[in-house]
Amino acid sequence: MNEHSRILEREKIEIETLRDAELRLPAVAPREPFPIEPVTPDARQQTRAVGQRATRPDGRLHGLGQTKYIDDLSFPGMLYARIKRAGIASARIKRIDTSAAEAMPGVMAVLTGKEIPVNSFGPSFQDQPVLVDEFVFHAGDGVAAVAAVTEQIANEALDKIIIEYEPLPAVLDPVAAMRDDSPKVHAPNSNIYATKVIRKGDVEKGFAESDHIFEGRYSTQMIEHVSLEPHAAVADWDANGRLTIYATIGRITLARSDMARTLKMPMSRIRIVGTIVGGNFGGKNEITQEPALALLSKKTGRPVKGVFTRGEEFTSTTTRHPIIMDYKTGVSKTGRIIARQIRLVLDGGAYCSWSETTLGKACILSPGPYKIDNVLAEAFVVYTNKTMTGAMRGFGAPQVCFAYESQMDEIAAKLGMDPLEIRLLNAFDEGSPSPTGQVLHSVVVKESLRKAADRFGWEPRP
Amino acid sequence: MTDVTMTVNGQMRSASVPPETTLLQLLRDQFHLTGAKLGCDVGDCGACTVIVDGQAVNSCLMLAGQADGREIVTIEGLASRDRLHAIQQCFENSGALQCGFCGPGVLMSAKALLDDNLNPTRQEIRDALSGNLCRCTGYTKMIEAVEDAARMLRDGTPAKLTQARTEVPVP
């Protein structure tokens, strides 16, 4: 605490002196490392953090612009990689001609999917190729990668890569994709690649006992994380056959095993350096271009950097699942929910990524925080020829919340009830069982609703 | 190749670059000032904001040639040798930067505002930062930090949050 008081004291003095100081531009070399004082916030020194002010330990470097994100790193002899995107939703690749690109001055290497030792990865199912080799599954798929001495040359080289496609029928609507006669994204497998069912009580009996039945379809759109820093990585395959990757990956141990699998090399030869990430939000949880960069580095013997463009962020990285949500709810005259039947269709895009996790959480949370005796929730996640969907804040929870709360408002309006009242009537209590039978503790939903309503002056509208 | 000479953070710098080089690429790749970031490359996100002749500019939209002979200030020129700029101090105190990627741009937009106007209203601060996107969604604290910095530069009162940092008894 003494050390800490001293820091506080010094800061106070610094600010006092700053009052008179002339804030002029430094006449010193800008790369001079700024002296970094250790900033130890109160919250990190004491056991109780609530009520304490905490500043970020990396806040000062951020403010100085000295935090090194991947794109701020450079290594001697470093090359720049760019990836050629398919631009077609579903196709068979008939021919790839990279000779013109390879002949360009400044282009050091070109890589195609066939050169990748094990061309598939993924956190639950290994269904995603690093670069597609035979079939294109969505328009953002990488087909070839180029490493060149400048980014400009790499971009120009992409235009010289000739690819002939045989277009195949694409399936873009997740509900249509569930039908047996729809084109299969990953033939011969079914487009439905994971399901979850939650059953509690008897919904048919519940609906029979209900006074009113409400049915509605709700849907949400695809959302990209748009973290301000694009996906970026630098790969360095050294002469001893050891690989170092600097990457914007949140889960470096998972990335390490994925890299070992795709490159068919022991994990002990791979080192992944997770640096400061400029926003993740679930979008940087798995590898993307890293195996391709590693192989380009192996081919050229030089470090290779790859940074996605903003466009690639939208087409070629994971997004939030669009969900089509069908809700059927039976309520009594008094507004008590008796039964709820739910069907969720998650549009998984071309690859699984974190869809299984999202499916489970969306399904478990789909009945809402309400005491309902009879529940049937069925959830399906299906392949379509679109950008893959994966983890994003909440893993499916925000989508289903939109659906059940929209329906609660509709029920309240139809029954002429106050929207707050109907929620208070049905909401979980301390010890209520969740739809999956978990007994819930520290349940404060009613208190929270009452307090919030009180704070912003909620009154039933006429 | 285009030859450019400009003042960057008080120093004369020159370089010979291909004509299509943007000011951002010049600063990052030639002058190794990596504080300004490439976020979108089309002038939407403001992560590349620097000050050119007193105006906040998206450096990804300005060619290096256009900056020839002008005065550039980047985030690296904000602090002096051993002292943070008031804006930096207030952003740190408020915890206004989360992942930090938008930070250099936001700070430069704030500096351009405060250089012009030491008495900005909340709306003027919002307008000044409207070209800077933050996806961690920490705008409230940034606006508070700019207000604090304006107060600090104006009448020398210490940043609000430093004052509030008192001992809290541990139960």
What's residue A7's pLDDT? 75
CB spacing of B97 vs A62 below 8 angstroms:
yes
- Residues 6+ away with beta carbon under 8 Å from A342: A325, A326, A327, A328, A366, A367, A375, A376, A377, A378, A379
Q: How many domains does chain A have?
A: 2
Cβ(A262)–Cβ(A243) under 8 Å? no
Query: Distance from B149 to chain A by nearest Cα, in Å?
Result: 11
CA atoms within 13 A on the CB side of A387: 22
Minimum CA–CA partner of A23 in chain B: B85
The C-alpha atoms of residue A232 and residue A226 are separated, in whole angstroms, by: 13
Question: Tokens 């994003």 — which residue?
Answer: A392
B43 and B92 in a common domain: no
CB spacing of A55 vs B74 below 8 angstroms:
no
Tokens of A277: 């990430």
Q: How confident is the model at residue B166 (pLDDT cuts 50, 70, 90)?
A: very low
pLDDT at residue A371 tops 70: yes
- First-to-last alpha carbon distance for chain A, in angstroms, is 58
Cβ(A356)–Cβ(A381) under 8 Å? yes
CB spacing of B83 vs A21 below 8 angstroms:
yes
CB spacing of B99 vs A228 below 8 angstroms:
yes
Q: How confident is the model at residue A37 (pLDDT cuts 50, 70, 90)?
A: low
What's residue B93's pLDDT? 87
B136 and B105 in a common domain: yes
User: Reduced to 3 states, what is the DSSP secondary structure of residue A10?
Assistant: helix
* Residue A147 included in any domain: no
What's residue A450's pLDDT? 94
- Better pLDDT: A15 or B74: B74
User: Which of A32, A65, A310 lies closest to B35 in CB terms?
Assistant: A65
What percentage of chain B's residues is helix, strand, coil (to nearest 5)? 40, 15, 45
Single residue among A36, A67, A98 that ends a domain in this structure: A67
Q: How confident is the model at residue A60 (pLDDT cuts 50, 70, 90)?
A: confident
- Residue B134: its chain A contacts at CB < 8 A? 228
For A219, counting Cβ atoms within 10 Å of its Cβ (0-12 exposed, 13-18 middle, 19+ buried), the class is middle
What average pLDDT does range A56-83 have in this prediction?
93
Query: Distance from A387 to chain B by nearest Cα, in Å?
Result: 19
Q: How confident is the model at residue A28 (pLDDT cuts 50, 70, 90)?
A: very low
What average pLDDT does range A48-57 have in this prediction?
69
Q: How confident is the model at residue B158 (pLDDT cuts 50, 70, 90)?
A: low
Which residue segment(s) compose the domain that A327 sits in? 175-223+319-455
- Residue B145: its chain A contacts at CB < 8 A? none
The C-alpha atoms of residue A226 and residue A278 are separated, in whole angstroms, by: 10
User: Reduced to 3 states, what is the DSSP secondary structure of residue A344?
Assistant: strand
What average pLDDT does range B127-148 have in this prediction?
94
CATH number at residue B68: 3.10.20.30
A169 upstream amide cis, omega within 30 of 0: no
What's residue B4's pLDDT? 96
Q: How confident is the model at residue A56 (pLDDT cuts 50, 70, 90)?
A: confident
A362 and A218 in a common domain: yes
pLDDT at residue B167 tops 60: no
* Axis-axis angle for helices A397-415, A355-365 (nearest 10): 20
* Residue A142 included in any domain: no
Which residue segment(s) compose the domain that B30 sits in? 2-77
pLDDT at residue B113 tops 90: yes
Q: How confident is the model at residue B83 (pLDDT cuts 50, 70, 90)?
A: confident
Instruction: Mutate one of A62, A78, A312, A393 to test the B interface: name it (highest B CB count within 10 A).
Output: A62
User: Which of A18, A68, A276 lies closest to B86 in CB terms?
Assistant: A18
Q: What is the pLDDT of residues A191-242, one digit of tens each?
A: 999 999 999 999 999 999 999 999 999 999 999 999 999 999 999 999 999 9
What's residue A31's pLDDT? 47
CATH number at residue B113: 1.10.150.120
* Residue A214 included in any domain: yes
Count of beta carbons in the 10 Å neighbourhood of residue A379: 26
Minimum CA–CA partner of A15 in chain B: B158
Single residue among B10, B43, B77 that ends a domain in this structure: B77
Q: How confident is the model at residue A422 (pLDDT cuts 50, 70, 90)?
A: very high
- Better pLDDT: B5 or B160: B5
pLDDT at residue B168 tops 50: no
Q: How confident is the model at residue A39 (pLDDT cuts 50, 70, 90)?
A: low
Minimum CA–CA partner of B13 in chain A: A29
What's residue A11's pLDDT? 73
Tokens of B14: 């020159």
What's residue A42's pLDDT? 56
Q: How confident is the model at residue B169 (pLDDT cuts 50, 70, 90)?
A: very low
- Starting at the edge strand found earlier in the chain, the sheet holding A337-349 runs A192-200, A374-383, A337-349, A323-331, A212-219
The C-alpha atoms of residue A207 and residue A229 are separated, in whole angstroms, by: 50
Three-state secondary structure readout of A53-96: CCCCCCHHHHHHCCCCCHHHCCCCCCEEEEEEECCCCCEEEEEE
What's residue B137's pLDDT? 85
B101 and B69 in a common domain: no
B13 and B69 in a common domain: yes
Q: Mean pLDDT score of chain A, rounded to an integer?
A: 91
Minimum CA–CA partner of A63 in chain B: B88
Q: How confident is the model at residue B82 (pLDDT cuts 50, 70, 90)?
A: confident
Minimum CA–CA partner of A56 in chain B: B95
Q: What residue spans of chain B are helical by DSSP H?
A: 23-25, 86-94, 103-116, 122-128, 139-155, 160-164
DSSP code for A268: G
Q: How confident is the model at residue A10 (pLDDT cuts 50, 70, 90)?
A: confident
For A454, counting Cβ atoms within 10 Å of its Cβ (0-12 exposed, 13-18 middle, 19+ buried), the class is exposed
β pairing state of A243-247 and A270-274: parallel
CB spacing of B170 vs A60 below 8 angstroms:
no
**ipTM computed for the complex:** 0.90
Instruction: Provide the phi-psi class of A53: left if phi over 0, else alpha when psi is between -120 and 50, else beta.
Output: beta
User: Which of B37, B92, B171 lies closest to A59 in CB terms?
Assistant: B92
- Better pLDDT: A360 or A54: A360
pLDDT at residue B155 tops 60: yes
Q: What is the pLDDT of residues A408-417, one digit of tens each?
A: 999 999 999 9
A180 and A49 in a common domain: no
B90 and B72 in a common domain: no
CATH number at residue A431: 3.30.365.10
pLDDT at residue A255 tops 60: yes
pLDDT at residue A43 tops 80: no
Number of cross-chain residue pairs from A and B with Cβ atoms under 8 Å apart: 166
Query: Distance from B74 to chain A by nearest Cα, in Å?
Result: 9
What average pLDDT does range A7-26 have in this prediction?
64
Q: How many domains does chain B have?
A: 2
The C-alpha atoms of residue B132 and residue B155 are separated, in whole angstroms, by: 27
pLDDT over 90 percentage in chain A: 84
pLDDT at residue A13 tops 90: no
B99 and B70 in a common domain: no
Cβ(B46)–Cβ(B106) under 8 Å? yes
